[in-house]
Amino acid sequence: MIPYARQDVSDEDVAVVVEVLRSDWLTQGPVVGRFEQAVAANCGASAGVAVSSGTAALHLACRALGLEPGDGVWTSPNSFVASANCARYCDCDVDFIDIDPKTYNLSVAALEEKLYRSEQQGNLPKAVIAVHFAGQSCDMEQIWGLSQKYGFKVIEDASHAIGGRYRDTAVGSCRYSDLTVFSFHPVKIITTAEGGMVMANDEGLLERLRLLRSHGIARDPAAMASPDEGAWYYEQIDLGYNYRMSDMQAALGLSQLNRLEAFVQRRRFLASQYDQALEGLPLVRPWQHPDCQSSYHLYPVQVVGGSKQRRELYDALHHRDIRVQVHYIPIHTQPYYRSLGFACDAFPEAESYYARTISLPMYPAMTDEDQAAVVDTLHEVL
Ligand SMILES: *Cc1c(COP(=O)(O)O)cnc(C)c1O
C-alpha cells in the first residue's frame, strides 16, 4: 500500500520521547520552550507559541488579533475547513477569495478587486488568512501591501509550508504578516502527533497568545488587577483555553525539526522526479512561482477531463493500493457553509480545480521504487 502521506518517525525520535516520559514533566514544560525557540530560530521569527493543534493555533491567532463577532475574515476556499472555522469560533463573518488557477492560492487580483468593492460598501475585512497551499507561499509582499492600504490583519496559514521559502525569507518569519501558523499533524512536513505553533514578532501578540493558550490565567503580578496575595495566587484576566502542547510532543517536534531540511530536500527531489516522469501524460503538473521554494506538502495534478475522469483515475489508483487523496473540497460548498448562505458556484476557479485534482503520494520516506510504481500505474491507466 502506498499512502498519499505519512510521518517518518526514527529511533532517535522515539528515544527522545521516552526520555521525557521518564522525566518530571509530561505536560507543558522546559522542552516546549526549547521547541518554540528552535522553530523561531529556524524560520526567523522572534518567537513561537506551541499549542495542541494547527486548528488551535489558528483559533488563538484570531483571538490574539482581537477579532470579534461580526468582523469580516476572508480566506481561500481551497483549504482545509479549519482555515475558515477558526474565524467562525470567534463569530466572525467568513468570506472567501477565489483562487489563482496557476498557484491554487488565493488570487491577489481577486482580493484587490473585492477590497476595492468592500471599501465602497463600507464593509472591509478585519483579517485575511492566506493559506500556503501544498507548501507554496502566497504572494505575501502584495497581500501585506494591501493590508497596509486597507487596514486589515494578515494571518498566514502555513500548515503545509514549514521549510518553504518566499523571496529571501523563510515561511514563518512574519516578514509580511502579523502571525504565521504551523500544523504538526502526522501528514504535514514535521510532526508532534497533534500540534501546532503560532509565530510572531510582536511582543504584545505573543503575550496574548501565551495567556489564551492556558485559560487566560496570568501569573505575572504586573498583569493582575489585585495585589499579589501569595505565591499561590493567579488571576484569570481573559477567557482562554487549554490549548497547551505537552513536553512529549515537543520532544518529538524538536527531534523532527533536526530532520526538516532533509525532509524538504527529499520532497523537492520527489517533486522534480514527478515533474519529469509525468511529462507527456494528460495531467496538469503543479506550477511553481519563481519567488517561491515550496516545501511540497502535496503534489497535486489535475486531469484534463472533468470530474468523471478524476473519479475514474482515483478509483483505478486505489484499486491498485495507491491511496491518492483529493485536496480540497471547496470550503464554501460544505453543508455548514452553505447553511450560512454560500452558493456552490460562488468561487468557480476553486470549484473547477477541485473537480479535476488528485494529490499523488508524497512523503519523505517514499522510496524511488514506490514512486516508480505510482508513475508506471499512471502511464498504464491514462
Ligand atoms: C492540517 C491543516 C490545518 C489544521 O491543522 P491540525 O493540526 O490538523 O489542527 C489547518 N489548515 C490547513 C491548511 C491544514 O492543512
CA 62 to ligand 1 centroid distance, Å = 15
> Exposure of 358 by Cβ count < 10 A (0-12 exposed, 13-18 middle, 19+ buried)?
buried
Q: Is the minimum distance from the CB of 80 to ligand 1 under 6 angstroms? A: yes
Q: Whose CA is nearest to atom 2 of ligand 1?
A: 159
At residue 227, the pLDDT reads: 76
What atom in ligand 1 is closest to the CA of residue 131? Answer: 13
What atom in ligand 1 is closest to the CA of residue 185? Answer: 7
Hunting for cell 528515544 — which residue is that?
15
What atom in ligand 1 is closest to the CA of residue 187? Answer: 1
Q: What is the best residue among 58, 62, 75, 80 to mutate for testing ligand 1's pocket, by most ligand atoms within 8 Å of CB?
A: 80
Give the model's confidence band at 231: pLDDT under 50 very low, under 70 low, under 90 confident, else very high.
Answer: confident
Q: Is the minimum distance from the CB of 160 to ligand 1 under 6 angstroms? A: yes
Give the model's confidence band at 125: pLDDT under 50 very low, under 70 low, under 90 confident, else very high.
Answer: very high
| Spatial distance between the Cα atoms of 191 and 26, rounded to a whole number of angstroms | 18
At residue 368, the pLDDT reads: 97
Q: Is the pLDDT of residue 44 over 80?
A: yes
What atom in ligand 1 is closest to the CA of residue 56? Answer: 9
What atom in ligand 1 is closest to the CA of residue 57? Answer: 9
Q: Is the pLDDT of residue 360 over 80?
A: yes
Q: Is the minimum distance from the CB of 325 to ligand 1 under 6 angstroms? A: no
E-strand stretches of 172-215: 179-183, 196-200
Q: Whose CA is nearest to atom 6 of ligand 1?
A: 54
Per-residue pLDDT of 137-195, as tens digits, reads 999 999 999 999 999 999 999 999 999 999 999 999 999 999 999 999 999 999 999 99
Task: State in Å, rounded, how far the first CA of the chain is from the last one.
Answer: 20
Q: Is the minimum distance from the CB of 105 to ligand 1 under 6 angstroms? A: no
CA 17 to ligand 1 centroid distance, Å = 23
DSSP of 227-274: ---STT--EE-S---B-PPPHHHHHHHHHHHTTHHHHHHHHHHHHHHH
Mean pLDDT score, 213-237? 88
At residue 57, the pLDDT reads: 99
Q: What is the best residue among 53, 137, 183, 194 to mutate for testing ligand 1's pocket, by most ligand atoms within 8 Å of CB?
A: 183
Per-residue pLDDT of 55-96, as tens digits, reads 999 999 999 999 999 999 999 999 999 999 999 999 999 999
CA 19 to ligand 1 centroid distance, Å = 28
Question: 245 is written with which cell numbers?
Answer: 502542547
Q: Is the minimum distance from the CB of 132 to ligand 1 under 6 angstroms? A: no
Q: Which residue in 1, 129, 116, 111 sits closest to 58, CA to CA?
A: 129
Q: Is the pLDDT of residue 230 over 90?
A: no
What atom in ligand 1 is closest to the CA of residue 160? Answer: 15
The DSSP H or E segment spanning 128 is: strand 127-131
Per-residue pLDDT of 3-41, as tens digits, reads 999 999 999 999 999 999 999 999 999 999 999 999 999
Q: What is the best residue among 76, 159, 192 to mutate for testing ligand 1's pocket, by most ligand atoms within 8 Å of CB?
A: 159
Q: Is the minimum distance from the CB of 253 to ligand 1 under 6 angstroms? A: no
At residue 223, the pLDDT reads: 83
Question: Cα–Cα–Cα angle for 268, 75, 196, nearest 5°?
Answer: 55
At residue 313, the pLDDT reads: 97
Give this prediction's pTM. Answer: 0.98
Q: Is the minimum distance from the CB of 54 to ligand 1 under 6 angstroms? A: yes
Q: Is the minimum distance from the CB of 256 to ligand 1 under 6 angstroms? A: no
- Give Cβ neighbours of residue 62 (< 8 Å, ≥ 6 apart): 73, 86, 87, 89, 90, 92, 127, 155
At residue 229, the pLDDT reads: 84
Give the model's confidence band at 225: pLDDT under 50 very low, under 70 low, under 90 confident, else very high.
Answer: confident
Per-residue pLDDT of 243-300, as tens digits, reads 999 999 999 999 999 999 999 999 999 999 999 999 999 999 999 999 999 999 999 9
| Spatial distance between the Cα atoms of 80 and 84, rounded to a whole number of angstroms | 8
| Spatial distance between the Cα atoms of 359 and 356, rounded to a whole number of angstroms | 10
Q: Whose CA is nearest to atom 5 of ligand 1?
A: 54
